[in-house]
Amino acid sequence: MLFNSITYFYFFTIAFVLYWFLLRKDFRWQNLFLFIASYCFYGWWDARFLILIFISSIVDFVLGRAIFYQAIKKKKLHLLWLCMFINLGMLGFFKYYNFFIDSFSTLSANLGFQPNLKTLQIILPVGISFYTFQSLSYSIDIYRGKIKPTNDFISFMTFVSFFPQLVAGPIERASHLLPQFLKARSFKYDQLVSGFRFILYGLFKKMVIADRLAYFVDHIYNSPEKYDGFVLLAATFMFGFQIYCDFSGYSDIAIGSARLLGFDLMQNFKTPYWSKSFKDFWHRWHISLSTWFRDYVYIPLGGNRVSQSRWTANILLTFTLSGLWHGASLTFIIWGFLHGFLLVSEYFVTKFISLTKRISWVGFVITFPVVNVIWVFFRADSLDQSLYILSSFKNLNLSFLSKALSLFFENNEFREASISILASFPLFFLIEILANKTDFNKLIRNKSKIMRWSVYLVLVFMILIFGVLNSAPEFIYFQF
């Protein structure tokens, strides 16, 4: 069930009415209803995978309590390791089993061995990386003494499976989201309006920008050998905007849907392409994941409270693991490692060269193109394809422009996608400039009524005229 589908519209409308008009007198009944609705939402893809999220939730609920009430510190740690083993074991099996088997077989063959290891036909459960990290952080925070375990089983199960952010985040912490399930929620007009704003802008970014850019990116990346360096470079930058609008669009719709139900989710993006450094980029991009790795990987490794060599290793390891989290492929690992390398390099460079506010734009000029170029490793199907595309960038010419012009007049799909992007991108660009380090809701809420409704109507018009309506393309991060 996709946010950009008519099915989700019907599902959420029914859920909204039942939640607020029939069950509003008792938040416990609301929680039970949300639990059932969330499992129906997740089961819409494949009901078989409900058992996985159920097991993950049960494990953390039971072991979280056991960790809290265990007086012996060593046994607390053993219980935490057991919790991590079960959660990460399920994630590792479904997401990484074939990757590690293939990698081990290749390494063994290079060393002269012929291991008889077979891969399995494993289907990756949608959203498993997201709900595993969310559920696991609950037990870790209990072990650290940051939170206490809840006695409300239904509230906890709903916290793990909450359908607005279940499949692709934001990855919420129990300290922020769980208490919201443990108290009564009231129907607030301001929260309702802000929720609709998030959803509207999210749909615009997904259906108008991301899904239209996907037409160009998919065609070019599916057959990169047919195109020259200029076209491949353009497609790579287009993918940068595609993945941003696709993923931030999902996050906005998730935040908006949650607000319509009386919940507040964390902001996941803050106009990351206006970043003036690689460090700034990771303070703005996929914030819920970057802060998760910061708190549960980087800081436990010692963070920046160690020697520079150890700190460098901590950064590189954290970002390499972040790359691996995104996918069981060497390209994702390289993508993560490169971001860690850029952060380390930036740190040492800025120790000797500091940019004043007057010339801080230099940081943007460096950060924006580099971040987009290394998206090649994220989008390409293999390492060989990544290297081929990167090598093509040295041969840039504008010969494709004449072909693109002829395609515009001869190919209906090409023309439709081109017109949609040319018509909608200036509006998207303007909003992103004005909403620097904030969000669409905060940008628009204090404007005059005429201004607000003008923007709403323009966005609705853009979605209806230029959006991809005849299908509901999946969100990119569903594969992670």
Q: What share of the chain has pLDDT > 70, as a percent?
A: 90
Q: Which of 166, 187, 208 delimits the end of a domain?
A: 187
Task: Write down the pLDDT at residue 127.
Answer: 84
Position 196 pLDDT exceeds 60: yes
CA distances from 456 to 260, 428, 448, 452, 476 (A): 18, 13, 12, 6, 26
Residue 88 sits in the same domain as residue 117: yes
Residue type, 318: T
DSSP states along 98-158:
HHHHHHHHHHHHHTT---------PPPPTTHHHHHHHHHHHHHHHHTTSS---S-HHHHHH
Q: Is the pLDDT of residue 242 over 80?
A: yes
337 falls within a domain: no
pLDDT at position 410 over 70: no
In this structure, the answer to whether residues 375 and 238 fall within a common structural domain is yes
Encoded tokens for 411:
């190919």
Which of 124, 156, 187 is the last residue before a domain boundary?
187
Quote the domain boundaries for residue 69. Answer: 14-187
**Claim to verify: residue 177 and residue 197 sit in the same structural domain:** no
Residue closest to 171 by CA, chosen among 289, 315, 36, 20? 289
Q: Do 56 and 83 fall into the same domain?
A: yes
CB 229 within 8 A of CB 394: yes
Indicate whether 136 belongs to any domain: yes
Query: CA 64, 289, 442 angle in degrees (round to 5)?
Result: 110
At 409 the pLDDT is 65
In this prediction, residues 57-78 reach a mean pLDDT of 94
Contact 288, 266 (CB under 8 A): yes
pLDDT tens by residue, 102-143: 554 555 555 555 666 555 566 778 888 899 999 999 999 999
Q: Does residue 38 lie within any of the structural domains?
A: yes
Percent helix, strand and coil across the chain, each to the nearest 5: 75, 0, 25
pLDDT for 282 beyond 70: yes
pLDDT surpasses 70 at 47: yes
Is the same domain home to 143 and 239? no
Q: For all residues of the chain together, what is the average pLDDT?
A: 88
Q: Each residue of 289-323: pLDDT tens digit?
A: 999 999 999 999 998 899 899 999 999 999 999 99
Is pLDDT larger for residue 113 or for residue 324? 324
Q: Is residue 330 part of a domain?
A: no
Render pLDDT for 352-408 as a digit per residue (tens, 0 to 9). 776 555 556 788 889 999 999 999 999 999 999 999 999 988 877 766 766 666 676
Check residue 439 and give its pLDDT: 84
Looking up tokens 């063994």 gives 108
pLDDT at 37: 96
Burial of 478 (0-12, 13-18, 19+ CB in 10 A): middle
Q: Are residues 172 and 248 in the same domain?
A: no
What is the per-residue pLDDT for 345? 92
Clarify whether residues 155 and 247 are in a common domain: no
Q: Say if residue 82 is in the same domain as residue 98.
A: yes
Who has greater pLDDT, 61 or 436? 61
* Residue among 178, 173, 140 at smallest CA distance from 64: 140
Q: Give, in degrees to the nearest 5, the angle at Cα 185 between 183 and 188.
A: 155
What is the arithmetic mean of pLDDT over 329-347?
94
- What's the chain's length in residues? 480
Across 274-283, average pLDDT: 93
The structural domain count of the chain equals: 2
Q: What is the pLDDT of residue 116?
A: 60
My answer on whether 363 and 449 are in the same domain is yes
Catalytic residue among 78, 219, 326, 339: 326
Residue 51 lies in a domain: yes
Q: Is 56's pLDDT higher than 80?
A: yes
145 vs 319: CA distance, rounded Å: 26
Check residue 108 and give its pLDDT: 54
Question: Which residues have C-beta within 8 Å of that of residue 480, sequence separation ≥ 6?
Answer: 129, 130, 168, 325, 326, 327
Query: What integer pLDDT is reported at residue 31 of this predicted model?
Result: 95
**Per the domain annotation, does 268 fall within a domain?**
yes
- Which tokens is 52 given? 């996985």
Specify whether 149 is located in the same domain as 117. yes
**Annotation says 219 is catalytic:** no
Angle at 180 between CA 174 and CA 183, to 5 degrees: 130
Domain boundary among 156, 187, 218: 187
Residue 169, domain member (yes or no): yes
Tokens of 281: 């980029």
Residue 100 and residue 209 in one domain: no
Q: Sorting pLDDT into bands at 50, 70 and 90, what band is 92?
A: confident
The pLDDT value recorded for residue 113 is 58
**Per-residue model confidence (pLDDT) at position 105:** 54
Tell me: do 218 and 177 sit in the same domain. no
Q: Is 25 helix (H, G, I), strand (E, B) or coil?
A: coil
**Does residue 35 form part of some domain?**
yes
What are the tokens at 256?
């908006």
